[in-house]
Structure 1
Amino acid sequence: MAKQSGYLQRREAELDATFNAGAAMAMQFAMDTLQMVLHQTEGWGYDQIMRITHNWVAVQREYKPALDCRNPEADVRQEHMDRVLAEIISGKAELIRFPERYPNAKKIKYGR
């Protein structure tokens, strides 16, 4: 596994100040284990894994507003996430919609 210290420094700079240490640690663990599985089961090397990691972070940044009920784009991002996941599933399983996948996310209250 390649060193990630430079990458982590850039990633941490992009995270919101409100992103707590526990969430950051969970995110790093998820990233580490994803990179490990791509290497161990798919035989991917550093360049492929870094390309996927970079794209994964970009998609997280794009859809992060879905988790913030105060963000005016939250509902649109949630719907986009469901749409892309439904495309991935392609009828092979039932889509679990955003509110069920994220039961602890605060509900969007329009105009309040």
Structure 2
Amino acid sequence: MISNYKKYYKLIEYLSQFSNNRMGLILGVDNFVSMFEEKYYRNLNGGIMEAFGIIFTRDVKFYLYPFRPSKNDKLLNSSNIPIHPRVKDIYNYLLSNGKIKDLEFNKDILGIFSKDVLKK
């Protein structure tokens, strides 16, 4: 499924209705970083912690596709993505518990983005 839905906790909650098995989400690093933006959780009483509480209670693994903002920038993956210090501990929890895995990639197609695919 290709989606531009930014509230991943809701997507996980929805998909969990159909299976209790492990779930994997494939995200570009740029989209994964947006998961840690608190603006997406203002509607929740518990904010970002409530959303990640939903994620933590499911058996979810995030598979990250690397991102290079431009040809001159370094390749971003799970080891060097920019996570705001305020939510870095949430990220570190996911990483240290094996919930984040970098995907292998083909550098020739690194510039294809889901937002462009969705436009077609």
Judge same fold: TM > 0.5, yes or no. no
Using structure 2 for the length normalisation, give the TM-score.
0.26
Structure that is richer in strand per residue: 2
Higher relative contact order (CA 8 A, sep 6+): 2
Using structure 1 for the length normalisation, give the TM-score.
0.27
Structure that is richer in helix per residue: 1
**Bigger Rg over Cα:** 1
